[in-house]
Amino acid sequence: MKLRKVTAASAVVLALALSATACGGDNKDDDSNGSSGGGGKIKIGIKFDQPGLGLQEPDGGYSGFDVDVATYVAKELGYSSDKIEWVQTKSADRENALARGDVKFIAATYSINDERKQKVDFAGPYLLAHQDLLVKSDSDISKGTDLNGKNLCSVTGSTSAQNVQKSIAPKANLRENSGYSECIAALQSGAVDAVTTDDSILAGFAAQDKYKGQFKLAGLKLSNENYGVGVKKGDTATVTKINDALKKMVSDGSWKKAVEANFGPAGYKNEPAPAIGNIVK
Radius of gyration for the alpha carbons in the chain, expressed in angstroms and rounded? 23
- Cα 155 → chain centroid: 14
User: What is the rounded CA–CA span in Å between residue 262 and residue 268?
Assistant: 9
User: What is the rounded CA–CA span in Å between residue 239 and residue 122?
Assistant: 7
User: What is the rounded CA–CA span in Å between residue 51 and residue 172?
Assistant: 26
Ramachandran angles phi, psi of 189, nearest 5°: -80, -15
Angle between helices 236-251 and 254-263 (to 10 degrees): 80
**Contact (CB, 8 A) for 67 and 106:** no
* Per-residue model confidence (pLDDT) at position 163: 84
* Per-residue model confidence (pLDDT) at position 84: 98
* pTM of this structure: 0.75
Partners of 198 in beta bridges = 131
**Contact (CB, 8 A) for 176 and 154:** yes
The DSSP line for 75-108 is HHHT--GGGEEEEE--GGGHHHHHHHTS-SEE-S
* Per-residue model confidence (pLDDT) at position 159: 74
Q: List per-residue pLDDT tens for the chain, 281 residues long.
A: 444 444 444 443 434 343 443 433 333 334 445 444 555 999 999 999 889 999 999 999 999 999 999 999 999 999 999 999 999 998 889 999 999 999 999 999 999 999 999 999 999 999 999 999 999 999 999 999 999 999 999 988 777 877 888 888 999 999 999 888 899 999 999 999 999 988 998 988 887 878 888 998 888 888 888 999 999 999 999 999 999 999 999 999 999 999 988 887 666 778 899 999 977 54
* Per-residue model confidence (pLDDT) at position 39: 58
How many CB atoms are closer than 10 A to CB 145? 12
